[in-house]
Amino acid sequence: MVFWMTRQRLWMIAGLGNPGETYAITRHNAGFWVVDDLADAYDILLNKRKFDSVFGRGSIEGVETVLVKPMAFMNRSGPPVRRIFDYFKISSGEMVVVHDDIDLALGRLKIKEKGGDGGHKGLRSIIETFGGGDFPRLRIGIGRGAVETGVVDYVLGTFTPEEKKVLDRVLDRARDAVKTLICSGITEAMNRFNDRRVNAIS
């Protein structure tokens, strides 16, 4: 007698950032912050080091999930993410990339089912490595800052105290957005979390 077993879905959440203390609290590391927040909320230990990544496996509301932080610098994020993807045999469409986005105002999130890199070098590296952008991504708005501030200086700068108040609330919503996406589907997640803005706490 032959028994057919359905493979349990396994999601991978890859947060993008730059490794090291120098970059730990910069705007460009918003993806790392979301992964750390998910790990804390769902007791997933990020204690594995392999393939130039830090990662951990656990459960988010009953859904098996691998949380990943690639430890290559941002513009080389693709190869480490691909190695973890292949190692765990993740299915297409069940990888979510979380990254900062200067084209979204601080306080906004946006979920996209697929697309291009929008000028984000970490996302570009992943798209080049995977041969396309057919994977969901969660964009964390960080705004563009003052006109006189260059893009590199801005994204590698730190949040002001007022911005940090907004970010703390955004991280809560980002955690809920990831949970909704993997548990209820991307359409439900987009309907709930796109085009809404969190205001600063006075």
Residues 47, 97: Cα–Cα separation, whole Å: 20
pLDDT in the model for residue 6: 46
Mean pLDDT within 170-182: 95
Residues 195, 29: Cα–Cα separation, whole Å: 22
Residue 127 has pLDDT above 90, yes or no: yes
Provide the annotated active-site residues.
28
pLDDT in the model for residue 202: 34
pLDDT in the model for residue 188: 95
- 164-175 pLDDT tens trace: 888 889 999 999
pLDDT in the model for residue 146: 59
- 15-69 pLDDT tens trace: 999 998 888 888 889 999 999 999 999 999 999 999 999 999 999 999 999 999 9
pLDDT in the model for residue 16: 96
* End-to-end CA, the chain: 66
* Percent of the chain's residues with pLDDT above 70: 90
Residue 179 has pLDDT above 90, yes or no: yes
- In the sheet that holds 109-112, the strands lie side by side as 48-50, 53-60, 63-70, 10-15, 95-101, 137-141, 109-112
- Is residue 113 within 8 Å of residue 159, measured between CB atoms? no
Residue 76 in 3-state DSSP?
A: helix
Question: Lowest-confidence range among 83-87, 162-166, 194-198?
Answer: 194-198
pLDDT in the model for residue 137: 95
Residue 3 has pLDDT above 70, yes or no: no
Residue 66 in 3-state DSSP?
A: strand
Query: For all residues of the chain together, what is the average pLDDT?
Result: 89
Mean pLDDT within 150-175: 86
State how far the alpha carbon of 70 is from the alpha carbons of 4, 25, 82, 159, in Å: 35, 16, 10, 22
pLDDT in the model for residue 174: 95
